[in-house]
Amino acid sequence: MDKHVIGIDLGGTKIATCAIDKLGNIRGRKIVPTLASKGQDVVISRIIQCVYDLLNESNLNIDDVTAIGLAAPGPLDIKNGLMTNPPNLPGWKDVPIVKILQHEFKLPVVLENDANSAALGENLYGSGQGVDYFIYMTVSTGIGGGVVINNRILRGSTGNAAEFGHMVINFEGPICGCKNKGCFEAYASGTALARFARQGVIEGRKSILADMIDVEELKAEHVFSAAKKGDDFAMELVRNEGSYLGIGIANMANAFDPELIAIGGGLTRQWDMFYHQMMNTAKTRLFASKDIQVVKASLDSDAGLLGIAKLAWDFVDNSLKR
C-alpha cells in the first residue's frame, strides 16, 4: 500500500485529521469537537483518539504512515516542538506537543502554525495557485494569517511571523484573548462579533437577537441570521465587521504589497454579507496598492490539512536525502 502522512489541524473549536498521499490526495478524514474548555489533557487525548479513529475508518495501519504533521495555533516554539500560549486553548503553556505525539505514534512529527499551513495549502492547491506574493487570512474563532513568497512560508526569526490577529488597531481597545489590548482579533473575529452582539443586547439595543437564544449563548451565526431578517442592530454589527476586516486588509497590503489576499475560515460562509463593506473600507486606507485583489479562499478547512501534509512530506523527502 502507498505510504501516507497524517495531517492534524488543531483549532479552538474542532480537531480535523486526514490521511494524505504523496500527490495530495486525501484518503480519509475525521473531525471532532476540540472541547477546549475541558483542558489540555482532554484535548490531547482527543487528538490521539481522532488519529486512531481516522486510521481505522480509512483501513490504514500505523505502518502505512510515514510522518505526522500538526498545524496548531500560535504562538509556537517550533524548534523545541512547543505550543507556548495559544489564546484560544485556555491553560496551555509550553506544551511539548511534538514529544507527546512522537511518543504515542513512534513517528516523526512536524509542527507548524495553523495559519501558515493553511496559507501554504491555499497557495499550492487553491485560490493562490501561481501567485508568488500571497497572503492568507483566516477569520473564525480567532484570526490568523500566513505569508507565502515564491512557495515558501515567511516564518520570521522565531517562526511566529504574520500573526495578523494580534496587530493592534486600537491601543485602548478591548482585551484580546492574548491579554493585549485592541488586537485586530478582538474586533473582527467571530468571537468578537458575538461579544459585540451580547454587549448590545445587555445594554438594551432593540433586536430580535434578544429573543433568539440566551444572551450568553449568542454566536456570530445568530448575528448573520438576524441581519438576513432585516434586524437593524444585527445589520449594523455586520457592517462593522466588514469595516474591521477592511482595516486589517489595508494594514496587510500596506506592509507586504501582495498580489493576492485570500480569506478563509468560518465567517467566510457569509462572504456576500460583508464583502462590499470590507473592500470599500480597505480601498480608502490603502497606501500604495490601490488595486489589491481579495478573494474568498477555495479550500475551506482542507487548506490547513493539505499545507501541513506538504510540510510533512517535505520532511520525509529531506530525511531520505541525508
User: What is the span of the domain harbouring residue 193?
Assistant: 127-296
Q: Check which CATH number belongs to the domain holding 177 and give it.
A: 3.30.420.40
Question: Do 252 and 134 share a structural domain?
Answer: yes
Question: Do 131 and 107 share a structural domain?
Answer: no
Give residue-wise pLDDT tens across range 2-15: 899 999 999 888 99
Q: What is the DSSP letter of 95?
A: B
Check pLDDT > 70 for residue 1: no
Check pLDDT > 90 for residue 103: yes
Confirm whether 120 is domain-assigned. no
Question: Do 292 and 313 share a structural domain?
Answer: no
Question: Do 305 and 214 share a structural domain?
Answer: no
Q: Please compute the mean of the pLDDT values over residues 151-157 and round it to a whole number.
A: 92
Confirm whether 179 is domain-assigned. yes
Q: How confident is the model at residue 182 (pLDDT cuts 50, 70, 90)?
A: very high
Taking the alpha carbons of 69, 72, 75, 81 in that order, is the dihedral positive or negative?
Answer: negative
Question: The pTM is what?
Answer: 0.89
Cell numbers at 198, concatenated: 451580547
Question: Do 199 and 133 share a structural domain?
Answer: yes
- What is the rounded average pLDDT for all residues in the chain? 94
Residues 99, 316: Cα–Cα separation, whole Å: 18
Question: Do 213 and 282 share a structural domain?
Answer: yes
Question: Do 104 and 244 share a structural domain?
Answer: no
Q: How many domains does the chain have?
A: 2
User: CA 276, 280, 281, 286: dihedral to nearest 10 degrees?
Assistant: 130
